[in-house]
Amino acid sequence: MKFRPILIALAVMAAATAARAQVPLDPLQPPPGRAPSSPTPSQPLVKPGVPSRPERPVMAPAPPAPAAPGVSAAVPAAPGGQDAGRTVALEQQQAHPSGVSMMLTGITYRADSVIVSASITNLSDRPVSLNRAGGLVLVDDRGRSHPFVPPAGNPEVQVAPRSRAAANFVFAGPLTGDSRSVELSTNGPSGSRSDRLTSAPSFMFRVPVS
Q: Provide the CATH number for the domain around residue 180.
A: 2.60.40
d(Cα 198, Cα 78) in Å, to the nearest integer?
A: 36
Residue 8 contacts by C-beta under 8 Å, 6 or more apart in sequence? none
**pLDDT tens-digit map of 68-83:** 333 333 334 444 445 6
Q: For residue 10, what pLDDT is reported?
A: 54
Whether 137 is in a domain gets the answer yes
d(Cα 31, Cα 162) in Å, to the nearest integer?
A: 13
Q: For residue 140, what pLDDT is reported?
A: 96
User: Total structural domains in the chain?
Assistant: 1
Backbone angles phi, psi at 14, to 5 degrees: -60, -40
183-206 average pLDDT score: 96
77-98 average pLDDT score: 79
**What b/e sequence results for 172-181 when a residue is b if at least 16 CB atoms lie within 10 Å of its CB, and e otherwise?**
bbebeeebee
For residue 165, what pLDDT band results from cuts at 50, 70 and 90? very high
Structural domain boundaries enclosing 20: 3-27+40-47+84-208
**What b/e sequence results for 16-47 when a residue is b if at least 16 CB atoms lie within 10 Å of its CB, and e otherwise?**
bbbbbbbbbbeeeeeeeeeeeeebbebbbbbe
For residue 94, what pLDDT band results from cuts at 50, 70 and 90? very high
**pLDDT tens-digit map of 50-62:** 333 333 332 333 3
Judge contact between 167 and 156, C-beta under 8 A. no
Cα–Cα distances in angstroms (integers) from residue 200 to residues 29, 31, 49, 166, 183, in the given order: 23, 21, 27, 18, 18
- The one-letter amino acid code at 50 reads V
Residue 49 contacts by C-beta under 8 Å, 6 or more apart in sequence? 12, 15, 16, 19, 58, 61
104-126 average pLDDT score: 96
Whether 156 is in a domain gets the answer yes
Residue 169: pLDDT above 70? yes
Q: For residue 4, what pLDDT is reported?
A: 55
Higher pLDDT, 114 or 40: 114
Whether 181 is in a domain gets the answer yes
Using only the alpha carbons of the chain, give its radius of gyration.
17
Residue 65: pLDDT above 90? no
Whether 52 is in a domain gets the answer no
Residue 180: pLDDT above 90? yes
Whether 110 is in a domain gets the answer yes
d(Cα 191, Cα 143) in Å, to the nearest integer?
A: 20
Whether 72 is in a domain gets the answer no
For residue 119, what pLDDT band results from cuts at 50, 70 and 90? very high
Residue 138: pLDDT above 70? yes
Higher pLDDT, 44 or 136: 136
Higher pLDDT, 85 or 202: 202
Whether 64 is in a domain gets the answer no
Higher pLDDT, 164 or 48: 164
Whether 54 is in a domain gets the answer no
- Mean pLDDT score of the chain: 75
